[in-house]
């Protein structure tokens, strides 16, 4: 790690947090939580972010997240790990043991697997339901029309649903998708809204995001 890397990650983080604060004071209410999306980022950048005080991280793969984070809990007891990528039912146990929040519940079968996995792990992991607001065939997330039924089933299984998450289509303005997600969350009495990434987190906050997921804008471009 060079000093330049440290300065730029710490500086970018400070700028993002400043933007989040400013947006919160315009709207009133608590500032959104900055989720640092650490997927595919080199370890030295993560160290830098930790040193700068960043504690909430988003990962999209269970295995990669486990390798990176499972040994870190002892040093950073206030670490919060959020799964933001699609979850296969055969990884539910691993996910329930590792993550503090699972943002990507999107089907009844996964709800059942998670309920079982949490029972086995002896911990309740709060979940968000991922909504496919753009109704894109290739994208995960429950369709808006299926949301009520999925929430109902998940609640019956004893899952704790804290909110909703979405990833708007890349080629469309994100605003209408953020507005739809906010409306759905309100209709179901859910408090958390995970929406907005590097390019549009400030807009997402204007629509009520409580959690913004920022990767490249915080850490720099991902290795591909
Ligand atoms: C990668 C990813 C992000 C972060 O994207 P950036 O454009 O790097 O900010 C946010 N949310 C999800 C679900 C992701 O997979």
DSSP H or E run through 168: none
Report whether pLDDT(5) > 90.
no
CA 87 to chain centre: 13
What mean pLDDT is predicted for residues 123-147? 97
| pLDDT, greater one: 3 or 185 | 185
pLDDT band per the 50, 70, 90 thresholds, residue 12: very high
Six token digits for residue 120? 């086995």
DSSP H or E run through 66: helix 62-69
Helix (H, G, I), strand (E, B) or coil at 172: coil
Report CA(37)–ligand 1 centroid distance (Å): 6
Q: What is the pLDDT of residue 27?
A: 81
Report CA(156)–ligand 1 centroid distance (Å): 31
Q: Ligand 1: does its nearest atom lie under 6 Å from the Cβ of 36?
A: no
Report CA-CA distances (Å) from 192 to 6, 96, 165, 182, 183. Answer: 31, 19, 8, 9, 12
pLDDT band per the 50, 70, 90 thresholds, residue 148: very high
Report CA(197)–ligand 1 centroid distance (Å): 6
Report CA(131)–ligand 1 centroid distance (Å): 15
DSSP H or E run through 175: helix 175-187
Six token digits for residue 46? 């993560």
Q: What is the pLDDT of residue 135?
A: 98
Q: Ligand 1: does its nearest atom lie under 6 Å from the Cβ of 198?
A: yes
Q: Where are the alpha helices (DSSP H) in 86-146?
A: 92-98, 108-121
Rounded distance, CA 141 to CA 54, Å? Answer: 28
Q: Ligand 1: does its nearest atom lie under 6 Å from the Cβ of 164?
A: no
Six token digits for residue 97? 């043991």
pLDDT tens, position by position, 173-188: 999 999 999 999 999 9
Q: Ligand 1: does its nearest atom lie under 6 Å from the Cβ of 72?
A: no
Nearest atom in ligand 1 to the alpha carbon of residue 216 is 8
Six token digits for residue 78? 């206030």
pLDDT band per the 50, 70, 90 thresholds, residue 102: very high
Cβ–Cβ < 8 Å for 93, 110: no
What mean pLDDT is predicted for residues 194-214? 96
pLDDT tens, position by position, 16-72: 999 999 988 888 889 999 999 999 999 999 999 999 999 999 999 999 999 999 999
Short-list 165, 93, 89, CA closest to 123: 93
Report whether pLDDT(4) > 80.
no
Rounded distance, CA 55 to CA 189, Å? Answer: 27
Report CA(221)–ligand 1 centroid distance (Å): 11
CA 109 to chain centre: 21
| pLDDT, greater one: 2 or 39 | 39
Cβ–Cβ < 8 Å for 126, 97: no
Rounded distance, CA 104 to CA 126, Å? Answer: 11
Q: What is the pLDDT of residue 33?
A: 98
In this prediction, what percent of the chain has a pLDDT beyond 70? 96
Nearest atom in ligand 1 to the alpha carbon of residue 39 is 1
């Amino acid at each position: 790690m060079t000093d330049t890397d440290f300065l730029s990650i710490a500086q970018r983080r400070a700028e993002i947090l400043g933007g989040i604060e400013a947006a919160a004071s315009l709207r009133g209410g608590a500032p959104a939580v900055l989720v640092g999306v650490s997927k595919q980022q080199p370890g030295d950048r993560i160290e830098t972010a930790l040193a700068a005080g960043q504690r909430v991280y988003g990962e999209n793969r269970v295995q990669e997240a486990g390798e990176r984070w499972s040994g870190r809990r002892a040093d950073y007891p206030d670490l919060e790990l959020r799964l933001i990528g699609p979850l296969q039912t055969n990884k539910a146990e691993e996910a329930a043991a590792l993550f503090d929040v699972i943002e990507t519940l999107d089907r009844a079968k996964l709800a059942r697997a998670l309920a079982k996995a949490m029972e086995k792990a002896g911990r309740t992991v709060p979940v968000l339901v991922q909504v496919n607001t753009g109704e894109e065939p290739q994208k995960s997330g429950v369709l808006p029309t299926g949301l009520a039924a999925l929430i109902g089933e998940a609640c019956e299984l004893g899952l704790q649903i804290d909110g909703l998450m979405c990833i708007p289509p890349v080629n469309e303005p994100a605003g209408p998708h953020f507005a739809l997600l906010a409306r759905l969350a309100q209709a179901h009495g859910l408090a958390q809204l995970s929406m907005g990434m590097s390019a549009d987190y400030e807009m997402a906050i204007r629509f009520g995001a409580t959690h913004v997921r920022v990767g490249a804008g915080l850490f720099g471009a991902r290795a591909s």
